[in-house]
């Protein structure tokens, strides 16, 4: 029998039926919907903690710092929960940096990536000790030169790392691949070598590391192995130019999670063994880094959240059934954007209701607004029936928007016996308030 703790949690880890009611940590989700309305994102603290613990455990014995990828779910309460577990964070915008500030993530444990950091944003950060972060991950030659210029002009020290584009195909969805040469992210080997020759001795900019992130929802170790090998070689070359060892490497995120029933994630111990082989070993081909950063997002959050929603109408025609929900692609974009699979279940399980295939759609005026097609579901299609869309904790709310002038939904966190509204539902007034009417 496989060691399931060596895998990431399944969608049903914290969300499952009790006495025919679909629950989060034993609390019927329908009760939460009665209290907080629909649609609603609900997260399980237990699931976040377990995911973090499994990842951390597999990496035991290595100098690993987890820097949670805030973009996966950037709610302040989630950030605080993950911060309290000991994580730092990976940020990709000034806005995320400000969130980290508000959530009290130690500045030294923050890394800042992003291809479009503006001069204004960088200059603001440079006023702070070490630019308010552990390190800035530089994604282009121009960005490096700008940081160097600003740091020297302001006479402020800053720590940077190169975001390396290793030209590795992560073999994941086209729209979430980031490590191929044609992708917009990171620097090439040649660019990194040039920069490390030219700026090795800079008075204010310290080149401290190299980071990679080759893509997301990766379910095979092969692309990781390929990227790690190339990265390890590049570390040798950069260190030779710098004349000293690098302080750290950052292996990015990308670990895929199970979305479909029974689907397996990577073996965490095999992933860890690979990290060890290349970055924590004195054996030939390996190297011993002082510090190893990881930037998991999805693997900590995806199966820690669901989106619950109510049926508004249904259309039952010969051989074709459509279930129309009060949520839409604006609340959860993944199915529309990536044809992503998300499990869907009824909040109330009834033996009297027959299983039938449904198209599950939202209320947005776009033909891509489908959560699922031909999905077997045990629902009748009656207004007010309730369903949960599973595995929605990562890239769910954080990618949501108010298209079609639909206010963004509320978020609830259940953790250690407490239920907390962690984001109130947006009102029409909130949504419209930045607009200025022409007189």
User: Per CB under 6 A, does 254 bind ligand LLP?
Assistant: yes
Min. distance of Cβ 296 from ligand LLP in angstroms? 5
**Residue 435: which residues within 8 A CB-CB, separation 6 or more?**
none
| Residue 342 CB contacts under 8 Å (≥ 6 apart), including other chains | 259, 332, 334, 335, 371, 372, 389, 390, 391, 392
Check residue 104 and report its DSSP letter. Answer: T
Run of H or E including 253: none
The neighbouring-strand residues paired with 159 are 206
d(CA 353, CA 358): 14
Q: What is the DSSP letter of 387?
A: E
The stretch near ligand LLP (CB under 6 A) out of 140-148, 153-161, 209-217, 231-239 is 209-217
Residue range at the interface with ligand LLP (CB under 6 A); choices 120-128, 198-206, 240-248, 292-300: 292-300
Query: Which one of 67, 89, 235, 365 is the catalytic residue?
Result: 365
Residue 72 sits in the site that holds ligand LLP (CB under 6 A) = yes
Each residue 331-370 as x (binds ligand LLP by CB under 6 A) or -, in order, gives ---x---x--------------------------------
DSSP β-bridge partners for residue 315 = 322
CA distance 276 to 75: 32
Least distance to ligand LLP from the beta carbon of 106, Å? 19
Nearer to ligand LLP, 228 or 395 (CB): 395
Q: State CA 232 to chain mean position distance.
A: 25
Q: Residue 395, interface with ligand LLP (CB under 6 A)? A: yes
Q: According to the binding rule CB under 6 A, does residue 164 interact with ligand LLP?
A: no
Give which of 12, 18, 3, 27 is closest to 415, Cα–Cα.
27
Q: Between residue 77 and residue 116, which ones bind ligand LLP under the rule CB under 6 A?
A: 90, 113
Is 365 annotated as catalytic?
A: yes
Q: Packing angle between helix 222-242 and helix 189-198, nearest 10 degrees? A: 20
Q: Does 305 bind ligand LLP (CB under 6 A)?
A: no
Q: Which helix (H) or strand (E) holds 308?
A: strand 305-317
Measured distance CA(218)–CA(227) in Å, rounded: 13
CA 331 remoteness from chain centre: 16
Mask 213-242, x = binds ligand LLP (CB under 6 A)? x--xx-------------------------
Cβ proximity to ligand LLP, 273 vs 399, nearer residue:
399
Residue nearest to ligand LLP (CB): 253
Task: With contacts defined by CB under 6 A, name the span among 230-238, 295-303, 343-351, 375-383 that binds ligand LLP.
Answer: 295-303
**Which span (201-209, 297-305, 318-326, 423-431) binds ligand LLP, by CB under 6 A?**
297-305
Nearer to ligand LLP, 206 or 334 (CB): 334
Contact (Cβ atoms closer than 8 angstroms) between residue 385 and residue 379: yes
Nearer to ligand LLP, 7 or 213 (CB): 213
For the chain, how many residues are written?
Answer: 439
d(CA 292, CA 271): 14
Distance CA 17, CA 23 (A): 6
**Binding test (CB under 6 A) with ligand LLP, winner from 132, 166, 297, 393:** 297
Task: Name the residue nearer to ligand LLP (CB basis): 23 or 389.
Answer: 389
Indicate which single residue of 9, 64, 176, 306 sits in contact with ligand LLP (rule: CB under 6 A).
176
38 binds ligand LLP per the rule CB under 6 A: no
Distance between CA atoms of residues 99 and 134, nearest Å: 16
Residue with smaller CB distance to ligand LLP, 278 or 397: 397
Provide the binding-site residues for ligand LLP, judged by CB under 6 A: 69, 72, 90, 113, 176, 213, 216-217, 252-255, 295-299, 334, 338, 395, 399
Active site residues: 365
């Amino acid at each position: 029998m496989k060691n399931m703790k060596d895998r990431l949690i399944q969608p049903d880890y914290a969300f499952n039926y009790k006495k025919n009611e679909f629950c989060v940590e034993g609390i019927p989700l329908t009760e939460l919907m009665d209290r907080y309305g629909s649609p609603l994102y609900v997260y399980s603290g237990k699931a976040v903690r377990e995911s973090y613990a499994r990842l951390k455990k597999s990496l035991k014995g290595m100098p690993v710092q987890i820097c949670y990828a805030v973009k996966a779910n950037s709610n302040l309460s989630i950030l605080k929960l993950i911060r309290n577990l000991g994580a730092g964070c990976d940020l990709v915008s000034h806005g995320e940096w400000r969130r980290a500030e508000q959530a009290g993530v130690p500045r030294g444990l923050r890394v800042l990536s992003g291809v479009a950091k503006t001069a204004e944003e960088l200059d603001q950060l440079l006023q702070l000790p070490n630019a308010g972060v552990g390190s800035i991950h530089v994604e282009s030659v121009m960005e490096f030169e700008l940081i160097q210029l600003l740091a020297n002009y302001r006479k402020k020290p800053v720590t940077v790392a190169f975001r390396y584009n290793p030209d590795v195909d992560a073999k994941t969805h086209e729209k979430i691949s980031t490590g191929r040469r044609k992708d917009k992210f990171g620097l090439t080997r040649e660019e990194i070598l040039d920069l490390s020759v030219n700026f090795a001795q800079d008075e204010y900019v310290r080149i401290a590391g190299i980071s990679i992130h080759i893509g997301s929802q990766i379910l095979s170790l092969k692309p990781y192995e390929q990227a790690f090998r190339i990265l390890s070689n590049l570390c040798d070359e950069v260190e030779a130019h710098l004349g000293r060892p690098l302080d750290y490497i950052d292996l990015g995120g990308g670990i895929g999670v199970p979305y479909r029933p029974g689907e397996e994630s990577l073996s965490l111990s095999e992933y860890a063994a690979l990290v060890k082989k290349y970055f924590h070993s004195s054996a030939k081909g390996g190297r011993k880094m002082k510090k190893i950063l990881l930037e998991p997002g999805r693997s900590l959050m995806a199966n820690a959240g669901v989106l619950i929603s109510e049926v508004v109408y249904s259309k039952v025609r010969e051989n074709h059934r459509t279930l129309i929900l009060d949520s839409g692609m604006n609340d959860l974009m993944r199915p529309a954007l990536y044809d992503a699979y998300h499990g869907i279940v009824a909040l109330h399980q009834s033996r009297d209701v027959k299983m039938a295939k449904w198209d599950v759609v939202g209320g947005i005026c776009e033909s891509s607004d489908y959560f699922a097609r031909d999905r077997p579901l045990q629902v009748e299609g009656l207004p007010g029936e309730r369903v949960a869309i599973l595995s929605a904790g990562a890239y769910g709310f954080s990618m949501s928007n108010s298209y079609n002038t639909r206010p963004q939904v509320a978020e609830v966190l259940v953790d250690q016996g407490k239920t907390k509204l962690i984001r109130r539902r947006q009102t029409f007034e909130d949504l419209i308030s930045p607009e200025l009417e022409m007189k």
